[in-house]
Amino acid sequence: MPSLPEKPLSNVPLQLHQPKNFQFDSVPESHAWRDLHDHPTVDPIGPDTVPLIDLTDPKLTAKISKACEEWGVFQITGHGVQPDLLTRLEAQIHRLFALSADRKLKTAKSPGDVSGYGLVPISSFFSKLMWSAGFTISGSPLHHAQKLWLDDYSSFCDVVEEFDNVMRQLGNKLLHKILLSLGLSKEDIIRACPVRDWHDMSAAVQLNSYPPCPDPDRTIGLAAHTDSSFLTLLYQNSVSGLQILRSKDHTGPMRWVTVPPVPNTFTVNIGDLMHVLSNVRFRSVMHRAMVNPAKHRISVGFFCGPPMDVKVGPINKLTGPERGPVYRPVTWQEYQRLRRKLFDKALEAIKIGEEIA
Ligand code: OGA
Ligand code: NI
């Protein structure tokens, strides 16, 4: 993990934080990171290959269970999302990030805003800037799209809304499969799952742009973090960059494993709220994004969580005499507030017996 800053970015005036269009010949001091090589990086081969799971596999539940226990992440095929939708979404994302910095800044997030253009929320914990720009969509994108494009804004909104709809259904299906893979029955899930159907799910879409970088070993696209969601589905274009932190095991020491882009797949990772719901059986996974010397990388994160007003705690059936409930129940909103304050200490803060916030 990169060290915490001496001077958090939240003390710097807003306009100075906003990403420009990355036209640098070398990595400026503002974007030069130390501590990036805290653990070795390994190629995705042999036992360091993130599991690839076909959602139509008859042994799906067992495969998901193994992947969540050993990795906290897997890639999926057989998900039913049309490649054409992903192609159209990708085109709109390129169109957005190709706009002038001034135009994009018309939708800049102010502190406390969820939606809009700007730095990812974890930026405020670091003294260095990341080599990326982001655009977050929570709710309808219409208001922002009208500021980005004075005329043709509906093609962006239509694709984002279509994607949101399809991904909510896929996210809900995966959530239920993950709960089945924890050994719960369908009846247990009806009783305990905070999301009744896909209309209920809270979700946010994060568009990420990682411009090519002249010296990619000196900077980072997105610093190491876990997601606060139940689960995140990530789509990446054909440029690699996503890395997962794998724990020390019989095959090697703690290491960063690259998740290669496989066409028409999503990468599914366990977030902090699933870590809570599963009472620590499925751990949220630390991940980060590196940048490429020649190619523009884009990714889309789809974060799935409970309805905003529903408290999530360890499912009763998953607690027992050897392991009582490890965390107290929280809403997603409350947990996000803790993350903004405490970043990687937020989970500890809701540990029963160790509440510090
Ligand atoms: C995220 C994330 C990784 C990537 O948006 O939370 O982890 O590869 N993105 O862009
Ligand atoms: Ni993430």
> How confident is the model over 245-300, as pLDDT tens digits?
999 888 889 999 999 999 999 999 999 999 999 999 999 999 999 999 999 999 99
Cα-to-centroid distance, 231 and ligand 2 (Å) = 10
The answer to whether residue 168 scores a pLDDT higher than 80 is: yes
Residue type, 88: R
Q: Which atom of ligand 1 is nearest to the CA of 299?
A: 10
Chain segment 121-156, per-residue pLDDT in tens: 788 899 999 999 999 999 999 999 999 999 999 999
The answer to whether residue 16 scores a pLDDT higher than 90 is: no
- Residue 184 CB less than 6 A away from ligand 1: no
Write out the two tokens for 181: 């893979």
Which residue reads 């495969």 in tokens?
Answer: 63
Cα-to-centroid distance, 210 and ligand 1 (Å) = 10
Which residues are identified as catalytic?
297
Question: Residue 180: pLDDT band by 50, 70, 90 thresholds?
Answer: very high
Q: What is the CA radius of gyration of the chain?
A: 20
Q: Where are the alpha helices (DSSP H) in the chain?
A: 14-17, 60-70, 83-97, 101-105, 142-148, 154-181, 186-192, 272-277, 332-342, 346-349
The answer to whether residue 326 scores a pLDDT higher than 50 is: yes
Q: Which atom of ligand 1 is nearest to the CA of 287?
A: 7
What average pLDDT score do residues 66-92 get? Answer: 97
Q: Kindly list the distances between the CA atom of residue 86 and the CA atoms of 93, 237, 265, in Å, as whole numbers in the listed order.
A: 10, 9, 10
**Is the model's pTM score more than 0.85?**
yes
SS3 content of the chain, % helix, strand, coil (to 5): 35, 20, 45
Write out the two tokens for 150: 């004075």
Cα-to-centroid distance, 128 and ligand 2 (Å) = 18
Q: Which atom of ligand 1 is nearest to the CA of 303?
A: 6
Question: How much is the pLDDT for 4?
Answer: 34
